[in-house]
Structure 1
Amino acid sequence: MDADAWDERYRTTDRVWSAEPNRWVVRETAGLPPGRALDLAAGEGRNAAWLAGRGWSVDAVDFSPVAVRRIVEAAGPHRDAVRAEVADATRYAPEEAAYDLVLISYLHLPAPDMAVVLETACRAARPGGALVLVGHDVSNAEHGVGGPQDVRVLSDVEQVRAAWEPCADIVVAEVARRPVGEAVALDTVVRAVRR
């Protein structure tokens, strides 16, 4: 989907996604000391708002202008800690080696585009900074529920590991099971520390 299609999707409902942060984002970042974070393809800002509420200064980018407006709204009393910007994650050029955390949550792109975003994320993290990716795993199309059904855009632990190992130490790399009602979704969860 392009930015116009996402704008339309966001316009048709008060919230497309839950206001709560993603469970894997919480698990992988809860123990990190607050600092400066970059949330690439931030959607409506649920993770950015949660991070800001925990003391982080967050730069949140998304290519949907409607989503970017919602990012600021989602931050509520912590809006001064969130800077939201309209930008395409595949073309975004953040400050290099500037972030204590770079987050990519449920961004689904063809492999060449995702490789660009993963490289951008690695360059943006400072030495010692965390890199976190969460997304619908490629196995979810056949064995899980929800998410995109096009396996060409789904996340893959090995793709993320291969992109980040040259610049970071992998701490977590798994396919995690997420309950969805009576069913289960399968998510790629990778956390790394920039060298």
Structure 2
Amino acid sequence: MTNHEPGKSTDAAIWDRRFAEHPWPSDPDARLVELVSPLPAGRALDLGCGTGRNALWLARNGWDVTGVDASAVGLAQAASGAKSIGVTLSLVEADLSTYQPASFSFDLVVVANMHFATHLRQGLYERAVSAVAPGGHLFIVGHHVDSFGRSGPPERDRLFSVELVTEFARGLEIGLVEREERWVNGEPEPLIDVVLWARRAITNDSGRS
């Protein structure tokens, strides 16, 4: 099922073209699989789900998944993938620079490789954090600034550092944040990512966790 929100980002047409031009990776992020596998399935939100590689893995493992992206082409491919493996995704076409998920509503929020312009990204990650339910988790992965010129966007200031990604998760308990090297077939050097895993504390009525 795909819902539409008016007012698409100007990046949507670019991503429509990219997703249409060639097949995109279908495997989920390896660190996401590692970190999520021990958890009981619940409600998951995949912001910038693209063609659905992480959303599909989550749904196949029992999660109730909402995937949000500005690209209608990417969402159509995600819907096709869901149909082919017999799972259901709730898909929303929306501009992620303004999309507001329900607060404290998701047991898992995934933001994978979303490299917004600097004036937009703080709002994106504040809204992502706000969507994490008490006891829920936030997973972020993105290209490290040391990968500039090899992977990720062409603007250096859109890339990540450990310090920047830690700031994105303000208000949550940081379980893991690290610079990670990742080897890709055919690449002479490893690509470098930043991975973050954080949790919202469960508080009692007095505000204590």
What TM-score results when the alignment is normalised by the length of structure 2?
Answer: 0.85
1:161 aligns with 2:170: no
Kindly tell me the number of residue pairs found equivalent between the two proteins: 189
Contact residue 106 and residue 131 of structure 2 kept, 8 A: yes
1:88 aligns with 2:95: yes
Partner of 1:19: 26
Q: CA deviation at 1:89?
A: 1.5
1:178 aligns with 2:182: yes
Q: CA deviation at 1:129?
A: 0.4
1:45 aligns with 2:52: yes
Moved over 3 A (4+): none
1:151 aligns with 2:156: yes
Counterparts in 2 of 1:1-195, with a 5 A limit? 2-13=11-22, 15=23, 17-75=24-82, 76-80=84-88, 82-141=89-148, 145-165=150-170, 167-181=171-185, 182-195=188-201
Contact residue 136 and residue 186 of structure 1 kept, 8 A: yes
Amino acid paired to 2:153: P
2-structure distance, mates of 1:163, 1:50? 25
2-structure distance, mates of 1:24, 1:111? 25
Partner of 2:7: none
Where in structure 1 are there 5+ consecutive unaligned residues?
A: none
1:143-185 CA deviation, whole Å, 9 max, x = no partner? xx422232111122212212323x2100011011101124200
Contact residue 165 and residue 194 of structure 2 kept, 8 A: no
* 179-188 vs 35-44, which moves further: 179-188
Q: CA deviation at 1:88?
A: 1.5
Partner of 2:205: none
Where in structure 2 are there 5+ consecutive unaligned residues?
A: 1-9, 202-209
Q: CA deviation at 1:54?
A: 0.6
Amino acid paired to 2:16: D
Contact residue 99 and residue 126 of structure 1 kept, 8 A: yes
1-structure distance, mates of 2:162, 2:123? 16
Q: CA deviation at 1:90?
A: 1.5
2-structure distance, mates of 1:180, 1:147? 14
RMSD between superposed Cα atoms in Å: 1.5
Q: Which has the larger radius of gyration?
A: 2
2-structure distance, mates of 1:4, 1:91? 17
Amino acid paired to 1:79: V
* Percent of residue pairs bearing the same amino acid type: 34
Question: Secondary structure of 2:108's partner?
Answer: strand
What TM-score results when the alignment is normalised by the length of structure 1?
Answer: 0.91
